[in-house]
Structure 1
Amino acid sequence: MLQWSGIAKNAALAAITECIIMERYQEEAVRAISDLVKTNSALAKGTPRTPFGEGAAKCLADFLALAAGMGFETHNYDNYVGEVIFGEGEEFAILCHLDVVPAGEGWTHDPFGGEISDGKIWGRGTTDDKGPAVCALYALKALKDEGFVPGKKIKLIVGCNEECGWRCIEHYNEVAHMPETGFSPDADFPVIYAEKGILQLRFHFVFDRAPFLYMQGGSAPNMVCSYCEVLPRSIQIPKAESFGLKIKGKKLICIGKSAHGSTPELGENAMLPLLKYFEHIPEIKNVIDCLFRDKYGLTKFEDETGRLTMSPNVVKFRKGQLQIVVDIRYPASIPYEEIIAAVNKMGLLYETINFQPPLYHAKDSALVKTLAEVYEECTGQKAEPVAIGGGTYARALKNGVGFGPEFPGDPALAHQPDEYISVERVGLLIDIYKKAVERLTK
Structure 2
Amino acid sequence: MNFIETCREFIGIESTPSHGNYEAAEFVGRVATAMGFFVEKQKETLNGLEQINLIIRPQKKSPQEELLLQTHLDTVDPGNFGQWKKTQANPFNASIYGKEMYGLGVADTKLDFLCKLFAAKNFVSTSFRMPFVLVGTYGAQSGMAGAINLVRRKLIRAKMALVGEPTSLQLIHAGQGLAVVEINIPFSPEEIDYRAKHDLMESSTTQSRIFHGKAAHSGHPELGENAIVKMLDYLVQLPEGLAIMSLDGGVSFNSVPDFSVLEIDMVSGFKDPIVPKIAHILKAAKQVEGEFSHFSTDPQEQVPTMNIGTIRTYDDQIRVIASCRMPYAVSEKQYNTWMTRLGKACEEAHSSFRILDYKKAFHVAKTSEFLQGCCTILEGLDKSAKPQTIAGATEASVFSRLGLECLVFGPGKSLGNSHAPDEKVSIDDLELAIEF
Query: Which band: TM-score by shorter chain?
Result: 0.7 to 0.9
Corresponding residue number in structure 2 for 1:127: 107
1:418 has 2:395 as partner: no
1:71 has 2:43 as partner: no
Q: Match for 1:107 among 84, 95, 104?
A: 84
1:170 has 2:127 as partner: no
Cα distance between partner residues in 2 of 1:295 and 1:206: 24
Identify if the C-alpha distance between structure 1 residues 35 and 157 changes in structure 2 by more than 3 Å, giving closer, same or farther: same
**Matched residue SS, 2:15:** coil
TM-superposed deviation, 1:170: 3.1
TM-superposed deviation, 1:185: 2.0
TM-superposed deviation, 1:166: 2.5
Identify if the C-alpha distance between structure 1 residues 293 and 271 changes in structure 2 by more than 3 Å, giving closer, same or farther: farther
**Matched residue SS, 1:94:** strand
Contact 2:171-2:387 within 8 A present in 1 as well: yes
Letter aligned with residue 291 of structure 1: A
Cα distance between partner residues in 1 of 2:160 and 2:147: 15
TM-superposed deviation, 1:126: 0.8
Structure 1: gaps spanning 5 or more residues: 1-24, 45-52, 215-231, 236-250, 433-442
Corresponding residue number in structure 2 for 1:42: 16
After superposition, what is the alpha-carbon deviation per residue over 1:73-100, rounded to whole angstroms, capped at 9, x for unaligned? 1111124301111256631110111111
1:91 has 2:66 as partner: yes
Cα distance between partner residues in 1 of 2:285 and 2:130: 48
TM-score normalised to structure 1 length = 0.74
Identify if the C-alpha distance between structure 1 residues 178 and 412 changes in structure 2 by more than 3 Å, giving closer, same or farther: farther
Corresponding residue number in structure 2 for 1:14: none
TM-superposed deviation, 1:331: 2.1
Compare 95-104 and 276-285 and name the one that shifted more: 276-285
Corresponding residue number in structure 2 for 1:297: 291
Q: Match for 2:280 among 263, 286, 304?
A: 286
Cα distance between partner residues in 1 of 2:433 and 2:321: 35
Cα distance between partner residues in 2 of 1:207 and 1:428: 55
Residues 267-278 of structure 1 aligned to structure 2 (within 5 Å) = 267-278=224-235
Segments of 4+ in structure 1 off by > 6 A? 209-214
Q: Match for 2:54 among 82, 95, 101?
A: 82
Letter aligned with residue 423 of structure 2: E
Contact 1:84-1:155 within 8 A present in 2 as well: yes
Corresponding residue number in structure 2 for 1:435: none
Aligned pairs, how many?
Answer: 361
After superposition, what is the alpha-carbon deviation per residue over 1:34-84, rounded to whole angstroms, capped at 9, x for unaligned? 11111111123xxxxxxxx5x511110101110111111111112430111
Corresponding residue number in structure 1 for 2:199: none
Corresponding residue number in structure 1 for 2:24: 59
Structure 2: gaps spanning 5 or more residues: 44-50, 197-203, 239-275, 347-351
TM-score normalised to structure 2 length = 0.75
Cα distance between partner residues in 2 of 1:67 and 1:387: 32
After superposition, what is the alpha-carbon deviation per residue over 1:185-232, rounded to whole angstroms, capped at 9, x for unaligned? 214242111111110111233343779979xxxxxxxxxxxxxxxxx9
After superposition, what is the alpha-carbon deviation per residue over 1:394-429, rounded to whole angstroms, capped at 9, x for unaligned? 23142333332246x875321111112222222111
Q: Match for 1:199 among 173, 179, 188?
A: 179
- What percent identity do the matched residue pairs reach? 20
Identify if the C-alpha distance between structure 1 residues 210 and 316 changes in structure 2 by more than 3 Å, giving closer, same or farther: farther
1:141 has 2:121 as partner: yes
Contact 2:308-2:323 within 8 A present in 1 as well: yes
Cα distance between partner residues in 1 of 2:220 and 2:21: 26
Cα distance between partner residues in 1 of 2:332 and 2:369: 28
Corresponding residue number in structure 1 for 2:273: none
